[in-house]
């Protein structure tokens, strides 16, 4: 599929949702590109998964901010590749460092850099443990099996809006509950 076609489809998918994340965060290795960059040389010209770049552009067009959270031990190679791909300026935060934690540090930093609450973020990664840990922080987290593609985008936005609806429902329940308990206090 040509890049323009992928971007048009991505825009159409994004357009189907009423609530959208403020920030979409991507892992690098096996999420945006199909390799571990620590096994590559900086001199190489990298390529991304076929849909990835067009999806980044579509999200950006819709006014959604983008960020990177990667535990790559070779941030120099990762950053060189991001530069070579011409996507450097698309990200409001690039947290690329190895850590013992499964990206909780990365997300804390992204949050303090951008001010975006975890519940307003969507995250794509190819590793279960990152998805589990970051998901517990309140970020809608999507496991990708074959990199970021249109299917993953649709799945991510669907889960995101379901999570937002759940939060809204709970808020309403809570508001009703507190209303009821305060009115019963008055009658006592
Ligand atoms: Mg990865």
- Residue 115 CA to ligand 1 centre (angstroms): 25
pTM for the predicted model, two decimal places: 0.92
**Known active-site residue 76:** no
Superfamily of chain region 3-183: HAD superfamily/HAD-like (3.40.50.1000)
In a 3-state reduction of DSSP, which class is residue 167? helix
- Residue 94 CA to ligand 1 centre (angstroms): 15
- Residue 35 CA to ligand 1 centre (angstroms): 9
Percentage of the chain lying above the pLDDT 70 cut: 97
- The pLDDT, as a whole number, for residue 2 is 87
Instruction: Report whether 109 contacts 118 (CB < 8 A).
Output: no
Packing angle of the helix pair 150-187, 3-15 (nearest 10 deg):
20
- Residue 72 CA to ligand 1 centre (angstroms): 8
- The pLDDT, as a whole number, for residue 160 is 98
Which residues are close to ligand 1, an ion, with C-beta < 5 A?
Answer: 27, 29-30, 126
Catalytic residue among 3, 4, 29, 105: 29
The average pLDDT across 13-39 equals: 97
- Residue 155 CA to ligand 1 centre (angstroms): 18
pLDDT at 58 over 80: yes
Catalytic residue among 3, 4, 27, 125: 27
Per domain, the residue ranges of the chain are: 3-183
In a 3-state reduction of DSSP, which class is residue 87? coil
87 contacts: CB under 8 Å, gap ≥ 6: 53, 56
- The pLDDT, as a whole number, for residue 184 is 60
- Residue 74 CA to ligand 1 centre (angstroms): 13
Distance CA 27, CA 50 (A): 16
- The pLDDT, as a whole number, for residue 34 is 98
- The pLDDT, as a whole number, for residue 183 is 66
Q: For 156-187, what is each residue's pLDDT tens digit?
A: 999 999 999 988 888 888 888 888 877 665 55
**Known active-site residue 61:** no
Taking alpha carbons only, the member of 19, 59, 46 closest to residue 150 is 59
């Amino acid at each position: 599929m040509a890049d323009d076609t992928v971007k048009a489809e991505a825009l159409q998918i994004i357009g189907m949702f009423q609530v959208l994340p403020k920030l979409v965060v991507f892992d690098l290795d096996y999420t945006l590109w199909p390799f571990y960059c620590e096994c590559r040389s900086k001199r190489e010209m990298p390529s991304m998964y076929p849909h990835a770049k067009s999806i980044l552009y579509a999200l950006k067009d819709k006014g959604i901010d983008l960020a990177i959270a990667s535990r790559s031990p070779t941030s120099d190679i990762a950053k060189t590749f991001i530069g070579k791909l011409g996507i450097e300026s698309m990200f409001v935060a690039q947290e690329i460092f190895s850590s013992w934690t499964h990206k909780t540090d990365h997300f804390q930093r992204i949050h303090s850099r951008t001010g975006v609450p975890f519940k307003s973020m969507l995250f794509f990664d190819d590793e279960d443990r990152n998805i589990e840990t970051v998901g517990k922080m309140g970020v809608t987290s999507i496991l990708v099996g074959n990199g970021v593609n249109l299917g993953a985008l649709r799945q991510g936005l669907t889960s995101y809006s379901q999570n937002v609806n759940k939060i809204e429902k709970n808020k309403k329940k809570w508001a009703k509950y507190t209303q009821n308990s305060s009115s019963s206090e008055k009658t006592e």
